[in-house]
């Protein structure tokens, strides 16, 4: 009978952290679309900070950080930097993280004009105070929306809005095995 024992390093379950910055949570929905494979994933990995377990800060160093959404405000930047500091590998998950996506449409006009349209001049705006919200609790908006790689180093980009569950699965399996992800053309084509 074979009595092979794995080294502690091989036995260690990998850790994954995930976050949504300026995104719509659609990319996280795509993770949940793994359906029953999410149980396989739970066998392979432990989740650190993630909307999946509701940890609000990173608990321990993680092998992989999945980032949904780009950076639209100061809080997004702080969270992204926290992930960079505590994750070995970062993946920009989806179009918002890789290039700003829908939120980056505001980059076409100056921030001041955006705020005026949203809070003062827009056709549906009712704002008798005439004030633009400025509570200190509200994260400060950046001058424009930045894709993640313009803020920190990002190792991998997985495009799509959202990337399919299959593409996410294959990417994670590749990263966890330390092998290139098997992403055939059909999975990442958008024509
Ligand atoms: S890439 Fe699409 S699905 Fe993902 S956060 Fe952006 S808008 Fe939502």
DSSP 99-137: H-TGGGGGGGS-HHHHHHIIIIISTT---TT-PPP--TT
Reference 160, options 112, 95, 80, 73; nearest CA is: 95
Judge if the upstream peptide bond of residue 71 is cis by omega within 30 degrees of 0.
no
Residue 188 pLDDT > 90 = no
* 136-140 LR contacts (CB < 8 Å, sep 24+): 139/73, 139/74, 139/75, 139/76, 140/73, 140/74
* Ligand 1 center to 25 CA (angstroms): 7
Provide the mean pLDDT of the chain: 91
Give distance in angstroms: CA of 138 to centre of ligand 1.
22
Which residues lie closer than 8 Å to 56 by C-beta, 6 or more apart?
Answer: 49
Q: Is any atom of ligand 1 closer than 6 Å to the C-beta of 96?
A: yes
User: Ligand 1 centre and the CA of 113: distance in Å?
Assistant: 24
Q: Is 69 in the pocket of ligand 1 (CB under 6 A)?
A: yes
What's the rounded mean pLDDT across residues 26-33?
95
The pLDDT value recorded for residue 191 is 76
Is the CB of 163 inside a 6 Å radius of any atom of ligand 1?
no
In sign, the C-alpha dihedral spanning 90, 25, 113, 141 is negative
Q: Which atom of ligand 1 is nearest to the CA of 27?
A: 4
CA 70, CA 185: separation in Å to the nearest integer? 25
pTM for this model (two decimals):
0.90
Paired sense of beta strands 71-73 and 141-146, if any: antiparallel
102 close to ligand 1 (CB < 6 Angstrom): yes
**C-alpha span between 127 and 69 (Å, rounded):** 29
* 24 Cβ below 6 A of ligand 1: yes
pLDDT, residue 122, reads: 95
pLDDT in tens, 101-117: 999 999 999 999 999 99
Distance from residue 112's CA to the centre of ligand 1 (Å): 25
Q: pLDDT tier at 84 (50, 70, 90 boundaries)?
A: very high
**To test the ligand 1 pocket, which listed residue (33, 70, 96, 106) has its Cβ within 8 A of the most ligand atoms?**
96
Rounded to an integer, the average pLDDT of 118-138 is 94
């Amino acid at each position: 009978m074979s009595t092979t024992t794995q080294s502690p390093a091989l036995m260690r379950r990998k850790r994954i952290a995930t976050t949504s910055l300026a995104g719509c949570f659609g990319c996280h929905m795509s993770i949940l679309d793994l359906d029953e494979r999410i149980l396989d994933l739970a066998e392979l990995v432990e989740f650190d900070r993630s909307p999946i377990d509701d940890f609000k800060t990173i608990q321990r160093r993680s092998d992989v950080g999945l980032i949904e959404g780009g950076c639209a405000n100061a809080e997004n930047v702080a969270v992204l930097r926290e992930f960079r500091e505590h994750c070995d590998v970062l993946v920009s998950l989806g179009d918002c993280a890789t290039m700003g996506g829908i939120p980056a449409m505001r980059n076409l006009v100056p921030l001041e004009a955006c705020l005026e349209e949203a809070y003062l001049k827009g056709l549906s705006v009712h704002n008798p105070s005439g004030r633009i919200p400025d509570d200190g609790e509200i994260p400060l908006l950046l001058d424009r929306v930045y894709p993640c790689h313009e803020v920190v180093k990002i190792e991998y980009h997985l495009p799509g809005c959202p990337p399919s569950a299959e593409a996410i699965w294959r990417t994670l399996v590749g990263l966890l095995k330390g092998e290139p992800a098997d992403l055939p053309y059909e999975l990442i084509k958008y024509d």
